[in-house]
Amino acid sequence: MSGAARSRVGLAVVVAAVALLPALESDFQRGLDSDAVIIALLVLSVVVLTGFVGQISFCQYSFAAIGAFTVGALMDGHGWSFWLALPVGVAAAVLTGVLVGIPALRLSGLLLAVLTIAVALFTDRFLLVTGTWDGFSGGAVPWHPERPSLLGAPLTGSYAYYLFVLAILCAAILVVWNLRTGKTGRVLRAVRDSELAAATVGLDVTAWKLAAFGLSAGLAGLAGALLAVRIGSVSPGSYDFLHSVQLTALATVMGVSTIASAPAAAIGTVFGPELLSGISVSSTWFPLLIGGTLIVQLVLVPEGAVVRTRNDIARLSRLLSARRGRDPAVAGASR
């Protein structure tokens, strides 16, 4: 079997296992699994923005909130179907992302980080506060969007909903993978390397950066909408600034340049606190643990844990195949 075919089979086995194993779990555990899948979507949005174009964002949960509250308001407030509210919610997030991207065009590094923090705080402290715009935020009573059915099958069961979000995540990963390995990925990496050179070879740097912001915010908005329906209620606390910081921190620990860090960081986010309480440490220590890991990682493994591990495995397999390849050559030489 060739290397590509082998990794394809391996991937299929992993996806099948991830789809089937939760069938044995409790409803509570499946709820956590769904959370992990949704957070993987959010990490994917960080990979697109930070990993592909090198733009920093601390407001991914604000984009998620736009998706979530749009879906909540349209479904609970206006009686829309989920299937109509979802694309509108995603579109609203994309639009917000592009709007944030416009001032971001002139900023990078620290100033861009500050801008996105401002956006996150604006969302937390103003937009979603009761009294500002209750038609959007729901005011004192949070929105309660109900889970939809898909082709007649209700997604109300925890396993059905888990499979639904997992399918969406797989599709999103496939799309991002295609973009990354195609022209889009190449162009975005070129823009990250040198905007000056990119412009002089004919790339509209502005348009590509805004597209990346839009795509990233759209993914986050999609995640937000799915989370709203998964919890069944939309409240500001689930989308605050600290969530965004933790998300970006974990994505960085795993390595923002690779898609594989999306599931890895998501598993860490959801099951890390569970693990801590499992060994009878309070889960409130989890953010501290992430912070500590982040410092160690930035010093020792700046490319990220997933990237390092993958490189190590690649080097090991190269080494092994080199050794295997050398033996006949040695035999040939002695002949």
Partner 1 sequence: MTALLDIAGVSKRYGGVLALDGVSFRVDRGRIKGLIGPNGAGKTSLFNCVCGVLRVDGGHIRYAGRDLHGLRPHRRARMGIARTFQTLELFRELTVLENLMVPVDARSPRGMLADALRLPRARFEEHRADERARALLHFLGIADVAGVRGGDLPIGIQRRVELGRALALRPTLLLLDEPAAGLDSRETADLAGVLSRIRERFGTTMLLVDHDMSLVMRVCDDIAVLDYGRLIAEGPPERIREDPTVVRAYLGESAA
Binding interface with partner 1 (CB under 8 A): 175, 178-179, 182-184, 186-187, 189-190, 192-194, 196-205, 211, 215
Nearest-approach distance from CB 257 to partner 1, in angstroms:
9
Nearest-approach distance from CB 202 to partner 1, in angstroms:
3
Burial 212-236 (b: 16+ CB within 10 A, else e): bbbbbbbbbbbbbbbbbbbbeebbb
Nearest-approach distance from CB 176 to partner 1, in angstroms:
8
Q: Which two tokens stand for residue 54?
A: 């090198």
- Helix 241-254 crosses helix 60-72 at what angle (to 10 degrees)? 130
* Residue 210 or 266 having the CB closest to partner 1: 210
* Distance (Å, whole) CA 54 – CA 215: 14
Cα 128 to Cα 167, 201, 282: the distances in Å are: 30, 43, 29
* Residue 13 or 197 having the CB closest to partner 1: 197
Nearest-approach distance from CB 281 to partner 1, in angstroms:
40
Nearest-approach distance from CB 105 to partner 1, in angstroms:
13
| Burial of 300 per CB tally in 10 Å (0-12, 13-18, 19+) | exposed
Q: Which two tokens stand for residue 324?
A: 């295997």
Residues comprising the chain, all counted: 335
